[in-house]
Structure 1
Amino acid sequence: MKYLILLALLAAACEFLQSKNSVPYIASLNAGYHFCGGSLISSTWVVSAAHCYKS
């Protein structure tokens, strides 16, 4: 679990340094604006933090 959190934090930090579509395993969750990031773990599943979703 700690590894996934670290991976998510690193991905978020590096997201601004990459050109569009250069990191195909990073997802941007948005509703007209970027509010959270995630990591693709398969062609149909994204892992993201729990605070990214409403309960």
Structure 2
Amino acid sequence: MNKKDKIQIKVMAMNMHMEEIIEFLNELLAENENLKKQIKELQKQNNHN
């Protein structure tokens, strides 16, 4: 295996990790939106009381 092959394998591994990180960040963003909605709902309920 030459140097170019080793570099390509490292780049592929980095891309896989980046895809996992992006997927995780998207999950966090979705959860954040859910929490924002829950907070708004709780604030509405609190204002009615």
Which TM-score band applies after superposition, normalised by the shorter structure?
0.3 to 0.5
* TM-score normalised over the length of structure 1: 0.30
* TM-score normalised over the length of structure 2: 0.33
- The structure having more radius of gyration, on CA atoms, is 2
| Structure having the larger proportion of residues in helix | 2
